[in-house]
């Protein structure tokens, strides 16, 4: 299992964001990290996905434990 920090964040256009992905104990198996993005005009990242009519863009990252 992996932990991701931050779970929610706002990123301004043209900017970047560092995230920490940490693998916790357990057997190594194929896992995926889903990264969802959506346009948002608010100030709290958690609220970006409250509007269920907005369909986010999803990127899937294959995670490889070592």
Q: Omega into 48 within 30° of 0, i.e. cis?
A: no
Task: Write the pLDDT tens digit of every residue in 20-33.
Answer: 999 888 888 888 99
Task: Write the pLDDT tens digit of every residue in 33-60.
Answer: 999 888 888 888 888 888 888 888 999 9
Contact between 10 and 45 under an 8 Å Cβ cutoff? The reply is yes
- CA–chain centroid gap for 37, Å, is 8
What are phi and psi for residue 45, nearest 5 degrees?
A: -60, -35
Return d(Cα 52, Cα 62) in angstroms, integer: 26
């Amino acid at each position: 299992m992996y932990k991701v920090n931050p779970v929610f964040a706002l990123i301004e256009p043209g900017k970047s964001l560092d995230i920490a992905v940490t693998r916790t104990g357990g057997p190594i198996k194929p896992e995926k990290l889903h990264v969802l993005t959506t346009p948002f005009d608010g100030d709290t990242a958690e609220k970006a996905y409250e509007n269920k009519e907005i369909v986010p863009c999803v990127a899937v990252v294959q995670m490889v434990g070592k």
